[in-house]
Amino acid sequence: MTSTGKAIAHPNIALAKYWGKRPYGKNLPAVPSLSITLAGMATHTTVTLDDALTEDALSLDGEATTGRPLTRVTEMLDRVHTGAGPRPRARVASHNDFPTAAGLASSASAFAALAVAANAALDAGRTVAELSDLARQVSASSGRSLFGGFVVLPAGEEGRAQLPAEPLAPADHWDLRLVVAVTTEGKKAVGSTEGMIRTAETSPLYQGWLDGAPPIFDTIRGAVLDRDLDRLGPAVEQSALAMHATAMAADPGLLYWNGVTLEVLHAVRRLRASGTAAYFTIDAGPHVKVLCRASDCPKVVVALAQVRGVQRTIEARPGGGARLVEATEDAT
Ligand code: DP6
């Protein structure tokens, strides 16, 4: 039996945001989303089966970790397991080669890498689509990191339990850049899962978000396929602003931005007014990600770095999906 699997996966940034879950369980998204999987940054995960263990063990960036992260890892391993009988316990070691506080959700790449590594270690024989569906059940955005390039995660439908993400176009379809403006080194206050549940339960704008997100998604999908940045950009900004407006109207209101966030949004609009096609998006945190053409990237980096309070910028481009790096057989 294969006992060790090593995999890597990249973070992804949604151009059309997922925010909110269907009310019938299984972590099904309430709206369709579309993301770019990013090259250059990765989570590296090793899963080693160990019969001597009575429960799974997790090490994150070299530190033994328990609590919710370990529970989610155990959940993922249980889901991937296909063999008869009890699942062997595993030692899971994961590290990010990018700073976790950089505003690039590390959970997406983490669960995608874990799914692929676990599939090899457990010899589960699952397809990429199955792994995407399983990762999506643990954290929806991670289902998208199984695939490279431009990726769609449809909204969930009642009676349909399985929902993998779907590749829309490969990384080389369009040489775009995403520049991350890091606005603080601190951690975010309210996680996405909790934030979107609170929004659904208490925001009077939530129904408007549910009605408005699908047409915005359609525009984004069409503009990506046509490589039309002038059509894509405004819809990307609208998706992010609609998500944040809905979350801000929750009780208590979710305020993911800081003052620098807002300054960066204005800087992006000024760039555009002066003729550079640059468009922002913001996730459940204070950092801003700016979409632009590769040729405009140096100009965008300079403009963002000049905004007072911006700590640093990170450039990213479309990259590949999660992949297995190594699988080894147990000698015993
Ligand atoms: C703002 O995928 O982290 O980044 O399914 O509850 O784990 P769970 O949520 P998660 O939410 C991501 C929200 C977002 C938008 C997006 O990536 O589409």
What tens digit of pLDDT does each residue of 1-21 get? Answer: 558 999 999 999 999 999 999
User: 98 is written with which tokens?
Assistant: 């990018």
Candidate from 26, 134, 192 with most ligand 1 atoms within 8 A of CB, to mutate:
192
**312 alpha-carbon distance from chain centroid:** 21
Instruction: Enumerate the β-bridge partners of residue 21.
Output: 29
Q: Is 138 helix (H, G, I), strand (E, B) or coil?
A: helix
pLDDT for position 75 = 94
pLDDT for position 105 = 66
Pocket of ligand 1 (CB under 6 A): 14, 17-19, 27, 33, 105, 107, 139-141, 192-193, 283-284
- Would you say 106 and 43 are in contact if contact means Cβ atoms under 8 Å apart? yes
Is the model's pTM score more than 0.85?
yes
pLDDT for position 184 = 87
Question: What does residue 138 show for φ and ψ, rounded to 5 degrees?
Answer: -85, -45
The pLDDT of residue 151 is above 80: yes
pLDDT band at 101; cut points 50, 70, 90: low
pLDDT for position 98 = 80
- 137 vs 186, more confident: 137
> How far apart are the CA of 329 and the centre of ligand 1, in A?
35
- Would you say 244 and 256 are in contact if contact means Cβ atoms under 8 Å apart? yes
pLDDT for position 2 = 56
CA 188 – CA 191 distance, rounded (Å): 7
How far CA 147 is from CA of 66, 144, 175, in Å, comes to 29, 6, 17
> How far apart are the CA of 300 and the centre of ligand 1, in A?
26
The pLDDT of residue 102 is above 60: no
The pLDDT of residue 159 is above 90: no
Return the residue matching tokens 């676990």. 118
Instruction: Enumerate the β-bridge partners of residue 94.
Output: 45, 60
Q: What number does the ligand 1 atom closest to the CA of 142 have?
A: 2
CA 296 – CA 139 distance, rounded (Å): 33
Least confident of 54-68, 93-107, 227-241: 93-107
Average the pLDDT over 73-81 and give the result.
96
pLDDT band at 250; cut points 50, 70, 90: very high
CA 116 – CA 322 distance, rounded (Å): 7
CB atoms within 10 A of CB 266: 11
- Would you say 299 and 262 are in contact if contact means Cβ atoms under 8 Å apart? no
Instruction: For ligand 1, atom 7, name the residue with the nearest CA.
Output: 139
> How far apart are the CA of 143 and the centre of ligand 1, in A?
10
CA 130 – CA 189 distance, rounded (Å): 32
pLDDT digits (tens, 9 = 90+) for 215-232: 999 999 999 999 999 999
The pLDDT of residue 103 is above 70: no
The pLDDT of residue 278 is above 80: yes
- Would you say 106 and 125 are in contact if contact means Cβ atoms under 8 Å apart? no
Instruction: Name the average pLDDT for the chain.
Output: 94
The pLDDT of residue 211 is above 70: yes
pLDDT band at 106; cut points 50, 70, 90: confident
Helix (H) / strand (E) containing 179: strand 176-182
- Would you say 38 and 316 are in contact if contact means Cβ atoms under 8 Å apart? yes
pLDDT for position 170 = 98
At 103, the amino acid letter reads: G
Instruction: For ligand 1, atom 11, name the residue with the nearest CA.
Output: 192
pLDDT for position 332 = 54
pLDDT for position 185 = 77
Q: Which of 35, 233, 290 is nearest to 141 (CA)?
A: 35
Instruction: For ligand 1, atom 6, name the residue with the nearest CA.
Output: 193
Q: What number does the ligand 1 atom closest to the CA of 27 have?
A: 5
Q: Which residues contact 182 (CB under 8 A, 6 or more apart)?
A: 101, 102, 103, 287, 310, 311, 312, 313, 314
> How far apart are the CA of 37 and the centre of ligand 1, in A?
14
The pLDDT of residue 253 is above 90: yes
CA 187 – CA 247 distance, rounded (Å): 18
